[in-house]
Structure 1
Amino acid sequence: MLTRKIIITAGLTSLLSLQMASADDEPKQTEDWLKAAQNPLIPVFSVPLEYTHHGGAENGDVSIGRIKPIIPVSLGNWNMINQLSLNFMGTPGPVTGIEELPEPYPGNGSNGLGDTTFTSLFSPETSGDFRWGFGPTFVFPTDTRFGNADDHTARQLGSGKFSVGPAMMVVTQPGPWTLGFKSKQIWSVFGNDSRESVSQLNLEPFANYNIGQGWYLTTDMNTIANWNSHSDNRWTVPVGAGVGKLFNMDKFAINTKLEGYYNVVRPDAAPDWSANFTVQFMLPKLF
């Protein structure tokens, strides 16, 4: 009888200890997922789904939905962080100051698949809070109107050019902060001869502050310069912020955020503001 009581007591004590350890691990696990969600250079496979609405342009509003899988590949002491961006958009006509439409084409509007972007960043493996990466970025002229093969209308959805250039990113994550900067410059190489050449710079500082239980404040201000435009109509500079929430599902996580930005500097025919909503599905490293 005494032996049975000892066994039962030991079993209950072990179960309670496991439950307490699991409860203690959950905040740390959520913190790890947040670091990975906010730092694309951490090699975690994820699929962000983004929706952006650009409002206030004189020709009308532009809506863009993006599927942006991040696929890390291990290369020994380095990681190759690959990100593909499929852009589905609806535009009412020529709207400037938008990254996906560097040289808008005249027309009365169209809906469909825009240009596709692919970026590979080579980043050294590290266990520290500072990461960096560099590599090429490519833009493919995949613009296709939904339900119609009319090329003239489809041209409104993209640049009509294959473009390439360098990209880089640096990220540091001290305490509850994630602070980073990413940039890329693309130049058109070949494509439709009737379309304008592309020379576009993106400068994107970003910051996140984690406030507990998966909640965080965020800002991600993508500044755009189209060098082929006149100096008075070259820059788009947004200011704004948002709030996010990560849901820890143990083996995977779902990251969500809602943001709003106002363009304090913008070209003619550009939108005044934009609103973004993101749902990011995160899985452990696969490669």
Structure 2
Amino acid sequence: MAKRSNRSVLLATLWLSAATLSAQDVPVTPAPKPQAATASSAPAGDDADALAKATQNPVASLISVPIQNNSNFGVGPYNRTQDVLNIQPVIPARISENWMLISRIIQPIVWQPYAAENTGGEYGIGDMSPTFFLSPAKPGKIIWGAGPAMVFPTATSSVLGQGKLSFGPSVVALIQPGHWTFGFLVNNVFSVVGSSHRPSVNQMTLQYFITYNLKKGWNINSGPIITANWHNGASGDAADGDDTPPGGRWTIPYGGGVGRVMRLGVQPVNISANFYGNAVHPPGASSWGMRLQIALLFPKKP
């Protein structure tokens, strides 16, 4: 538990030391190369605005390394807090004149409290989730990408992962009219092999994102992540084929936050803070949460 607290304090310190916030945990897009800056300077207005809008495109020619901390409150009858630190680099590669391959890998580090107890829990690595998007190098008004999503059973404890190797399709699409970004990223994975003692996996993840870009790299944004475990019952009725209580299938959050693209020294970063409530969630799961993120940005030359 001390490790979890120290990690949360470190991320919060990085966030506060920047004295600002930022957007999306959904990765990035091409932008002009940032101008040099001193440790005390912020990017020029036009430069910051262009880079801010660039970071809201998940299929783009911009390397980013987001470090995202998710604190999920109100778990179980003792109102415990689950903590998930996601390290999720996004790396684009041009594979031909017309196509890009974007690799997005999410590696969680998890503190999972024992929900039925008022102390104790498991801390370690969760399941790794790589996704690969094939995307046009010269997109039109609708920017899109598609490819495979995977889940590797890398968890160091049975309570930190699903124990299954899973595969499925993933699609992302967005538009960026004026100051706005509207889009979604969705995947559905199915288990193909793993421990016979663990439940099979059939799970959808849908993130929609809406961002309004302000001046000097600031923005207001919302990017809740909706999940559906299709093996859980929708209502708990006998017709569902199981006795899962109502709300066991869906997690549907709402909320948002603010963000800013700026520099720490000469390094462009995207820093954000978001708060979400769960309008629907499985019994005993978190009712609300906080997401803090700092992403290191590495714009590629045109």
TM-score range (shorter-chain normalised) is 0.7 to 0.9
- Structure 1 contact 129–172 (Cα < 8 Å) conserved: yes
Cα distance in 1, alignment partners of residues 57 and 285 from structure 2 = 30
- 1:201 equivalent among 200, 204, 219: 204
- Find the counterpart in structure 2 of residue 185 from structure 1: 188
- Structure 1 contact 136–164 (Cα < 8 Å) conserved: yes
Which has the larger Rg? 1
What's the secondary structure of 1:283's corresponding residue?
Answer: strand
1:120-131 correspondence to structure 2 within 5 Å: 120-126=132-138, 128-131=140-143
- 1:136 equivalent among 123, 141, 148: 148
Seen in structure 2, the aligned counterparts of structure 1 residues 38 and 156 have a Cα distance that, compared at 3 Å, is same
- Structure 2 contact 75–115 (Cα < 8 Å) conserved: no
- Find the counterpart in structure 2 of residue 118 from structure 1: 130
- Find the counterpart in structure 2 of residue 20 from structure 1: none
Deviations 1:117-168 (A, max 9, x none): 0000000012644310000011000011xxxxxxxxx101100000110000
- 1:53 equivalent among 41, 54, 71: 71
Letter aligned with residue 90 of structure 1: W
- Find the counterpart in structure 1 of residue 14 from structure 2: none
- Find the counterpart in structure 1 of residue 249 from structure 2: 234
Identity across matched positions, percent: 33
Cα distance in 2, alignment partners of residues 66 and 221 from structure 1 = 15
Q: Can you give the 5+ residue segments of structure 2 that lack an aligned partner in the other structure?
A: 1-42, 235-245
Seen in structure 2, the aligned counterparts of structure 1 residues 247 and 218 have a Cα distance that, compared at 3 Å, is same
Cα distance in 1, alignment partners of residues 217 and 57 from structure 2 = 15
Cα distance in 2, alignment partners of residues 245 and 229 from structure 1 = 38
Cα distance in 2, alignment partners of residues 261 and 41 from structure 1 = 25
Seen in structure 2, the aligned counterparts of structure 1 residues 239 and 61 have a Cα distance that, compared at 3 Å, is same
Report the alpha carbon displacement of residue 37 of structure 1 after superposing the two structures with TM.
1.1
| RMSD value, Cα | 2.1
Per chain length, whose mean CA-contact separation is higher, i.e. which structure has more relative contact order (CA < 8 Å, sep 6+)?
Answer: 2
- Find the counterpart in structure 2 of residue 257 from structure 1: 272
What's the secondary structure of 2:75's corresponding residue?
Answer: coil
- Structure 2 contact 58–172 (Cα < 8 Å) conserved: no
- Structure 1 contact 47–282 (Cα < 8 Å) conserved: yes
Q: More helix per residue: 1 or 2? A: 1
Superposition TM-score, scaled by structure 2 size: 0.76
Query: How many residues of Structure 1 are paired with residues of Structure 2 in the alignment?
Result: 243
What's the secondary structure of 2:51's corresponding residue?
Answer: helix
- Within the alignment, does 1:78 sit opposite 2:99 as a pair? yes
Report the alpha carbon displacement of residue 32 of structure 1 after superposing the two structures with TM.
2.0
What's the secondary structure of 1:229's corresponding residue?
Answer: coil
Cα distance in 1, alignment partners of residues 192 and 279 from structure 2 = 31
- Find the counterpart in structure 1 of residue 285 from structure 2: 270
Report the alpha carbon displacement of residue 94 of structure 1 after superposing the two structures with TM.
5.8
- 1:63 equivalent among 48, 66, 83: 83
Letter aligned with residue 216 of structure 2: Q
Report the alpha carbon displacement of residue 245 of structure 1 after superposing the two structures with TM.
1.0
Letter aligned with residue 79 of structure 1: M
What's the secondary structure of 2:285's corresponding residue?
Answer: coil
Cα distance in 2, alignment partners of residues 257 and 183 from structure 1 = 22
- Find the counterpart in structure 2 of residue 36 from structure 1: 54
- Find the counterpart in structure 2 of residue 246 from structure 1: 261
Cα distance in 2, alignment partners of residues 222 and 281 from structure 1 = 22
Comparing 53-62 and 211-220, the one that deviates more:
53-62
- Structure 1 contact 45–286 (Cα < 8 Å) conserved: no
Cα distance in 2, alignment partners of residues 252 and 92 from structure 1 = 36
Report the alpha carbon displacement of residue 74 of structure 1 after superposing the two structures with TM.
0.3
Seen in structure 2, the aligned counterparts of structure 1 residues 89 and 274 have a Cα distance that, compared at 3 Å, is same
Cα distance in 1, alignment partners of residues 100 and 178 from structure 2 = 24
